Structure 1
Amino acid sequence: MAKVFASIGTALYKTEIKTATNSLVADEPVSAGGLDLGFSPEELLASALAACTCGTLRMYANRKGWSELIKINVHVEFSRDIQANVSQMNREIELIGDLNEEQKTRLLAIANKCPIHNTLTHTITIETTLT
C-alpha cells in the first residue's frame, strides 16, 4: 500500500509531499496563482503513469532477457475538459534498441497492464474523512 503525506501552509499552493523515505514539492503554475516551485497535481498524475509504464516495461524486458532494449522513453500528456467532466491522457512510448515487431507488440500490451494504467482505467473509490 502506498502512503503519502501532504502539507500546505500559507504560501500559495506550495505543497510538501512526503513518504517514509522521499519528499517532493508540488505547486501550481504561475498562470494558476502558484510559483511553479514543483510539479502541478496534473503533472504528478501524468508522471505516475509515465514512471509506472517505464518501470513495468523495464521489469518485463529484463525478465525476458531482452538486453537489446537499451532505453524506454514515455511521454504523457494529460488534459481535462472541466465543463464536459472528461479527462484524457495521451501516452507515447519510445522503445530504443534492436527489437523485433513481436517484442514491440508484446511490450505495448504490457504497458497497458501497468498498475497505474489499470487504476486509471478501472473503477476507483476515494474515501475521505476529517480528523
Structure 2
Amino acid sequence: MPKIIATAEAENSGAHYSTDIKVHQHMLLADELPDIGGEDTGPAPSDYLCTALATCKVITVRMYAARKKWKVDLIRVKVDLVKGEEMPSGHNTFLCELAVTGELDEAQQARLLEIAKACPVHRLLSKPSDIVTILQTS
C-alpha cells in the first residue's frame, strides 16, 4: 500500500453546496459564493487549495528561519489562483506574495524566498498529478 501523506473527507447532505469536511479530528466547512448558487457559509474548495499553498509556505519559512535562529517577527503569504484561460501561458497559475518582517539582510530575505518556493505543497502542485476516483457502492 502506498504511503498516504494527507487525507480529507467531505460530505454534503443536501444543504445546497454547503459541505462538511473532516480532516483527522478537525471539522471544517466549504461552500460556494452566492453568484454560483452557494450560500457562502465557508471557503470554496479552490480557496482551500490556495490556503494549503499559503500555509505550507508560511510554515516552511518559519521552520527554516527558526533552524537558522534568524529574527523573524511575521511571515505572511497571499495566494491568488488564476484560471489558465486568463493567463498567456494557458496554465492555471498560483500568484504568491511573500512578506517577511524581522531583522533580516537582503541575502537572508532572498534565501527565505527560495525556501518558500521549496515548500512541499509548492513542489506537489508544480508536478503533474493523477486523480483516481472510484464509486463506492453500499
Aligning the two structures, in what range does the TM-score lie when normalised by the shorter sequence? over 0.9
Cα deviation for residue 23 of structure 1 reads 1.1
Cα deviation for residue 82 of structure 1 reads 5.4
Of residues 96, 102, 110, the one that matches 2:107 is 102
Residue in 1 that maps onto 2:121: 116
Gaps (5+ residues) in structure 2?
none
| Length-normalised TM-score, structure 1 | 0.93
Deviations 1:40-93 (A, max 9, x none): 011111111000000000011001111x11110111111214598631111000
Question: Quick one: structure 1 residues 83 and 95, their matched pair in 2 at CA, closer, same or farther if it must change by over 3 Å?
Answer: closer
Cα deviation for residue 103 of structure 1 reads 0.6
Residue in 2 that maps onto 1:77: 80
Residue in 1 that maps onto 2:15: 11
Residue 40 (str. 1) matches residue 44 (str. 2): yes
Inter-partner Cα distance in structure 2 for 1:105 and 1:46: 23
Inter-partner Cα distance in structure 1 for 2:58 and 2:86: 32
Report the secondary structure of 1:86's partner residue: coil
RMSD: 1.5
Report the secondary structure of 1:71's partner residue: strand
Gaps (5+ residues) in structure 1?
none
Cα deviation for residue 19 of structure 1 reads 1.6
Inter-partner Cα distance in structure 2 for 1:30 and 1:65: 46
Deviations 1:91-113 (A, max 9, x none): 00000112101111111111111
Residue in 1 that maps onto 2:66: 62
Inter-partner Cα distance in structure 2 for 1:82 and 1:129: 29
**Higher mean C-alpha deviation, range 72-81 or range 37-46:** 72-81
Inter-partner Cα distance in structure 2 for 1:19 and 1:48: 13
Inter-partner Cα distance in structure 1 for 2:33 and 2:85: 18
Question: Quick one: structure 1 residues 49 and 32, their matched pair in 2 at CA, closer, same or farther if it must change by over 3 Å?
Answer: same
The number of residues matched between the two structures is: 130
* Equivalent residue letter for 1:23: M
Residue in 2 that maps onto 1:51: 55
* Equivalent residue letter for 2:50: A
Residue in 2 that maps onto 1:30: 34
